[in-house]
């Protein structure tokens, strides 16, 4: 069962979306720092009759929605903390050199084709939509 299938099943069973659960969890104080996953999962199981997997799927949406977003500067500082501090000046120089090339541009995706002559099949892989197996004539 996919993650989305879990969420769809919860919506069918309870009539509530992950956003509805988020509002209720906020009202109960379950999105405060320090609240354990087990507490939230127990609430979902007891109050809504969800199974463990379904409760964990909802918990995943609550956790990602309530997590503070880390800035790029904070992520870099965390990465170069401790013994890696000596590497940060080199990183900063490299970033400065790369930024001289101009603003970032997205590269168009390229399709990769793998052919299997003995089976008369091919796999076309496009990074934007994943692999597709096709039978050649």
Q: Which two tokens stand for residue 118?
A: 């003995």
Structure-token match 């379950």, residue found: 30
| Cβ–Cβ < 8 Å for 54, 62 | no
Is residue 52, in this structure, part of any structural domain at all? yes
Q: Range of 40's domain?
A: 3-66
Is residue 19, in this structure, part of any structural domain at all? yes
Is residue 23, in this structure, part of any structural domain at all? yes
Is residue 12, in this structure, part of any structural domain at all? yes
pLDDT exceeds 80 at position 13: yes
Which tens digits make up the pLDDT trace of 105-128?
Answer: 776 666 666 566 666 666 665 655
Is residue 14, in this structure, part of any structural domain at all? yes
Is residue 48, in this structure, part of any structural domain at all? yes
| Cβ–Cβ < 8 Å for 105, 114 | no
- Which residues make beta-bridge pairs with 124? 113, 132
pLDDT exceeds 90 at position 16: yes
Is residue 80, in this structure, part of any structural domain at all? no
pLDDT of residue 72: 83
* Cα–Cα distance for residue pair 22/43, rounded to 1 Å: 13
pLDDT of residue 109: 62
Total domains in the fold of the chain = 1
Which tens digits make up the pLDDT trace of 19-71?
Answer: 999 999 999 999 888 889 999 999 999 999 999 999 999 999 988 766 667 78
């Amino acid at each position: 069962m996919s993650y989305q299938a879990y969420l769809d099943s919860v919506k069918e069973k309870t009539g509530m979306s992950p956003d509805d659960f988020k509002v209720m969890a906020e009202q109960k104080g379950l999105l405060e720092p320090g609240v354990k996953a087990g507490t939230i999962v127990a609430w979902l199981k007891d109050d809504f009759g969800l199974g463990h997997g379904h409760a964990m799927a909802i918990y995943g949406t609550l956790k990602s929605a309530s997590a503070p977003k880390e800035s790029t500067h904070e992520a870099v500082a965390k990465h170069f903390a401790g013994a890696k501090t000596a590497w940060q000046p080199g990183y900063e120089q490299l970033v400065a050199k790369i930024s001289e090339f101009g603003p970032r541009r997205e590269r168009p995706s390229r399709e990769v084709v793998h052919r299997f002559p003995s089976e008369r099949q091919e796999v076309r892989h496009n990074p934007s939509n994943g692999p597709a197996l096709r039978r050649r004539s």
